Amino acid sequence: MQVYHAVSPKEAKGLDTQELRDNFLVEKVFVAGEIALVYTHYDRAIIGGAVPTTEALTLPTYDNLKANFFFERREAGIINVGGEGAIEVDGTSYELSKLDCLYIGKGAVSVTFSSADAANPAQFFILSAPAHQVFPVRKMSKEEASPVALGSLETSNERTIYKYIHRDGLQSCQVVMGLTVLNKGSVWNTMPAHVHDRRMEAYLYFDVPEAHRVFHFMGQPQQTRHILVGNHQAIVSPPWSIHSGCGTTNYSFIWGMAGENLDFTDMDFSAIADLR
């Protein structure tokens, strides 16, 4: 498991393009036939992907965690952005279509990922955080996630938001998770920008056409930087950083958080005119 160490705002001011990418961008989230995870020192969150092809993949026990099994002291939200697949948790199988979500609580011992078609495998994005209480394993489809249409074409941010794991949805200790799908003709996400010093956030960009990119903006509101992000790449966003993006076409992204609370609306906004 890769490890991403925490970077302070003072350090981030001096990073060049490659150093920003090395510290905040996960370039290979999905690797065919593998489980690839990154351990971050932001709220001890783990992000990554599982792509089962011809054979099922069982979540291993990583030495980084010093635990008897992955979920001994952890929970996770998992969203499928690929073909049909299934996740088996302690003998019970949950089928996940594209954009379906599964929450796995503390104490799950055996977790296995599989795909219905190796030629069109499931692509499971995983966000895990430490947990102190047990909540049941539950699945939520995208239709059950109470999709909400927001934004407008006039501001280039007409989009649909799906909220899965939050205070009024799937219950968790500290994981909050959902996704946003931008309509054709819209390219901006999370603008006006915000920070929430009480929790970190991770973005997975997906359904980005091969020839296109998303300009992901990060940094303190008065010290912004950008990282060019391609399809199936993820950003680790520190609590002190904004997290916003503008694409060269429309796209989708998963947002996941871990930290102090489960309030979706916990955001400290910065006016567009105040950004630097």
Write down the pLDDT at residue 264: 83
- For residue 146, the model assigns a pLDDT of 84
The pLDDT value recorded for residue 236 is 98
2-274: which CATH architecture? Sandwich (2.60)
The string of pLDDT tens digits covering residues 76-111 is: 999 999 999 999 999 999 999 999 999 999 999 999
Q: What is the pLDDT of residue 23?
A: 98
Residue with token string 């930087």: 225
Residue numbers in the chain where pLDDT is lower than 70:
none
What integer pLDDT is reported at residue 166 of this predicted model? 95
User: Taking the domains of the chain in order of start, what are their residue ranges?
Assistant: 2-274
Q: What is the pLDDT of residue 109?
A: 98
Angle at 30 between CA 4 and CA 37, to 5 degrees: 35
Question: What is the reported pLDDT for 262?
Answer: 86
